[in-house]
Amino acid sequence: MTTVATTPFQDQRPGTSGLRKSVRHFQQPQYLENFLQAIFSTVAALKGGTLVVGGDGRFHNDVAIQTVLRMAAANGVAKAVVGQGGLLSTPAMSCVIRKRGATGGIVLSASHNPGGPDGDFGIKFNAENGGPAPEAMTEAFFRASRALSSYEILETDDIDLSRLGPTALGDMAVEVIDPVADHADLMESLFDFDLIKARIAAGAIRPCFDALHAVTGPYAEALFIRRLGADAAAVVNAVPLPDFGGGHPDPNAFYLRDLQDRLAAADGPNFGAASDGDGDRNMVLGPGFFVTPSDSLAVLAANATLVPAYAAGLKGVARSMPTSQAVDRVAAAGGFPCYETPTGWKFFGNLLDDGRITICGEESAGTGSDHVREKDGLWAVLFWLNLVAARDLPVEAIVREHWRRYGRDFYTRHDYEAIDADRAETLMAKLRAKLGSLAGTQAGGRRIALADDFAYHDPVDGSSAVGQGVRVIFEEAGRLVFRLSGTGTKGATLRLYIEDFEPDPARHDIDTQVRLADLIAAAEEIAAVSHHCGRDAPSVIT
Ligand code: G16
């Protein structure tokens, strides 16, 4: 065991979801070690405790995981539970922590960000409830990272993570586990697998899941092919690769062209789905039809009682602030509470632990429930499969019927990626400076009813999170949200979220960008987005 002298890095404050930087940044000598030591020094219970470790298989996963294990052993962790081959999806991590009563877990992932030597890497800590470390804990990591003068590490050979079973590293017991089994068993306990299986066997549901060469391939093969009887073609790009095959493991309309083409074929699949790098996001589509994440949350909440695990009804739901208000309408009609939290799954943890909500989700393609404490891509896909099987309706028909009943919340997100960080801060500062004077004025031909900077007061532990994004709400309906992403690694990313409510079914087919054009113009008028970003158009529109 060695104590190595080090000096602090100043940039180890975790963002929306852990510490995320470029691979090259993480490869700097002692960068990874320092942040890991900050975790081990902060979470005292890890000494003598059980730590679960795994990642999404991206470039640097194999090197970093050995460092995690060596430092865990040197910091007195009693037992490490590791996914075979160093793999564990984020929801599987949550599941394994909970099932095995572990003290916490370390996930090596930069989620939907690209991988490879020129891509991104990241570290997340999950607490003993299986959920992302709450703000107070990530701030403590940051403080510890700035006060470090040394770290502890065991000097030893790499451990073989390809063989299942028990082994050891110094005094630390190590168990290499099947990364899929615990999670797949949990999925089978929640949904009506017999019904889904019968519908697939009858050819009524022809699924195609695109794993985008990220972590979900092995999970999807176990679920869809081995447990639900779909044929081998039902899972594509199933082998996890360090660079995700050169693709972008982000399941949005922009990066799923290939899957859309498969669904467009005459005798092709009629149910499409995909997940991201670490398996917590999801996207569901039918031929020629994408379900927006905000609509997906609302539809799942509205139909939850068709799924065995949620047959008794929902205690409540929650959405992140920028997520559309579609689920609020379902909650109001169903008579259960709907909570509005800041962006970041960590903010759902207390509501789930306290039994206030059953289902929650975000516009960023995350949906989940109280079955674990992370968003869960395959859970959402199975939920949709259960729904399509139980309703005997295709995806598009289910969504359209939902709109007819509740009205449609038109929704789009415009991302301005990798813009100059100072310019992005200037845009937000100018916007914040005029918040007090916006109400009552006009923009895009509409009258502004309210403008504020979203603040959240956690009803469970009383903590507060301020400055979580600027909201501009118009009279009647219509809402703009401006915030800076907390997951990018280059410059800053401005996210502009635009939504409007449309009760009239005759107007549900209008193109989203056309339907929201006046609000898009209003955003420009209010915040001079193009001017500050130095761009004529967003980098990505979803
Ligand atoms: C993370 C968080 C989500 C958040 C998303 C986007 O997801 O867990 O809660 O909605 O980032 O955050 P931002 O808008 O700050 O970039 P993931 O899948 O990247 O871990």
Mutate to test the pocket of ligand 1, among 248, 276, 343 (most ligand atoms within 8 A of CB): 343
What pLDDT is attached to residue 267?
A: 87
pTM flag (> 0.85): yes
Residue 445: Cβ within 10 Å count: 11
Note whether 415 and 508 are same-domain residues: yes
Residue 200: Cβ within 10 Å count: 21
Ligand 1 within 6 A of CB of 112: yes
Note whether 309 and 445 are same-domain residues: no
Note whether 485 and 535 are same-domain residues: yes
Among 109, 111, 296, 320, the one annotated catalytic: 111
What's the length of the chain?
A: 542
Q: Is the per-residue pLDDT at 255 higher than 90? A: no
Query: In whole angstroms, what is the distance from residue 520 CA to residue 507 CA?
Result: 18
Ligand 1 center to residue 160 CA distance, Å? 32
pLDDT tens-digit map of 336-377: 999 999 999 999 999 999 999 999 999 999 999 999 999 999
Note whether 167 and 234 are same-domain residues: no
Ligand 1 atom having least distance to the Cα of 111: 19
Ligand 1 center to residue 111 CA distance, Å? 8
Exposed, middle or buried by CB within 10 Å (0-12, 13-18, 19+), for 3?
Answer: exposed
From 163, 179, 195, give the residue that closes a domain: 179
Note whether 422 and 459 are same-domain residues: yes
Ligand 1 atom having least distance to the Cα of 363: 10
Percent of all residues in the chain with a pLDDT value above 90, rounded to a whole number: 95
Q: What is the DSSP letter of 285?
A: E
Strands 359-362 and 317-320: parallel
pLDDT tens-digit map of 168-216: 999 999 999 999 999 999 999 999 999 999 999 999 999 999 999 999 9
Note whether 140 and 243 are same-domain residues: no
Note whether 96 and 132 are same-domain residues: yes
Ligand 1 center to residue 389 CA distance, Å? 30
111 in active site: yes
Ligand 1 within 6 A of CB of 363: no
Ligand 1 within 6 A of CB of 486: yes
Exposure string for 469-479, b = 16+ CB within 10 A, e = fewer: bbbbbbeebbb
Q: Is the per-residue pLDDT at 16 higher than 90? A: no
From 153, 179, 205, give the residue that closes a domain: 179
Note whether 205 and 167 are same-domain residues: no
Note whether 175 and 84 are same-domain residues: yes
Domain of 321 in residue numbering reads as: 182-406
Mutate to test the pocket of ligand 1, among 17, 126, 481 (most ligand atoms within 8 A of CB): 17
Q: Provide, for the chain, the percentages of residues in helix, strand and coil under a 3-state DSSP scheme, each rounded to the nearest 5.
A: 35, 25, 35
Note whether 526 and 396 are same-domain residues: no
Ligand 1 center to residue 177 CA distance, Å? 28
Residue 441 sits in a domain whose CATH number is: 3.30.310.50
pLDDT tens-digit map of 292-314: 999 999 999 999 999 999 999 99
Residue with structure tokens 């909201």?
471
Ligand 1 atom having least distance to the Cα of 487: 16
The conformational region for residue 308 under phi > 0 = left, psi -120 to 50 = alpha, else beta, is alpha
The protein residue with its alpha carbon nearest to ligand 1, atom 18, reads: 111
User: What is the pLDDT averaged over residues 89-94?
Assistant: 98
Note whether 24 and 170 are same-domain residues: yes
> What domain count does the chain have?
3
From 369, 388, 406, give the residue that closes a domain: 406
Note whether 387 and 412 are same-domain residues: no
Residue 110 sits in a domain whose CATH number is: 3.40.120.10
Ligand 1 center to residue 417 CA distance, Å? 14
Strands 470-474 and 446-453: antiparallel
